[in-house]
Amino acid sequence: MFVVAHAFLGLLLGLIFLEITGDRRVIPLCVAGAILSDLIDKPLALLVPTLGSGRTIGHSLLFVVVIVFIALILYGSRHTLLGVAFACSVFLHQIFDSMWQTMQIWFFPVFGPFPLMTTPDYTGYYLLLELMSPSEWLFLAAFIVIVVDMQADRSLQPLYFLVPAGVISVMGIFLIAAGWSGLGGSFFAPSYSATTSALAGLLAIIGSAFLVTLCRRGIRST
């Protein structure tokens, strides 16, 4: 998936951990964890053109293991779940990127070095794909609504939640259908594979449920 979709995934995970911990710091931590793999691997692909896939060390299970180890140390010394939440967001990034389909990367270095490839105009190519995916813009809109609501003195009007909830739920249905068909590449995410389409659709459906939940909470609090 693209960066904004991953950030939205991190935001939803952060909201779950907020309910568990009551610590608002967990939300930016989860968002950061959900995009960390791309923040490492995308620049690395620019520095080493033969690693043009943009998925290398930050998308490996080895990377997750190191972060989980640090999270457990943090939990043992400070009894906080912040590190665990961060590790979960990094792992979910890999799951939603369906890394199990690229075993040479996911289980690095078990199956040898990372596969080599070269993508002409790497930055422009992937940036164009992201900008031309309506799913990214819709995930961004839902992300902004949730963040603005969290910062507001009182909950937003129901319309601000229900409109993006309805739109991304429709998007989710289309993406899941595209994944189910085995073709992928729906209008909302033309470059997504079937598996990625299905996962992005699942994320959209979950996100719409979160938006409806926030709307109901806002109504009850008024």
Which of 65, 97, 131 terminates a domain? The answer is 131
Q: Would you state the pLDDT for residue 143?
A: 97
Residues 86 and 192 grouped into a single domain: no
Give the C-alpha separation, 46 to 25, whole Å.
32
Q: Would you state the pLDDT for residue 219?
A: 64
Are the C-beta atoms of residues 208 and 169 closer than 8 Å to each other? Answer: yes
Mean pLDDT of the chain: 89
Q: Would you state the pLDDT for residue 157?
A: 84
Look at residues 161, 163, 175, 180 and name the one whose alpha carbon lies nearest to residue 205. 175
Q: Would you state the pLDDT for residue 159?
A: 86
Give the C-alpha separation, 216 to 206, whole Å.
16
Give me 46's structure tokens: 């620019």
Q: Would you state the pLDDT for residue 118?
A: 64
Residue 152 has pLDDT above 90, yes or no: no
Residues spanned by the domain of 107: 1-131
Average pLDDT over residues 108-128: 74
Give me 142's structure tokens: 């839902």
Residues 123 and 139 grouped into a single domain: no
Say what the pTM is: 0.91
Q: Read off the pLDDT of residues 158-194 as tens digits, 9 standing for 90 and up.
A: 888 999 999 999 999 999 999 999 888 789 999 899 9
Structural domains of the chain, count? 2
Give the C-alpha separation, 46 to 53, whole Å.
10
Q: Would you state the pLDDT for residue 120?
A: 58
Residues 53 and 161 grouped into a single domain: no
Average pLDDT over residues 103-123: 78
The winner for highest mean pLDDT among 21-25, 83-87, 156-160 is 83-87
Give the C-alpha separation, 218 to 158, whole Å.
8
Q: Phi/psi of residue 53, each to 5°?
A: -70, -20
Give the C-alpha separation, 147 to 18, whole Å.
13
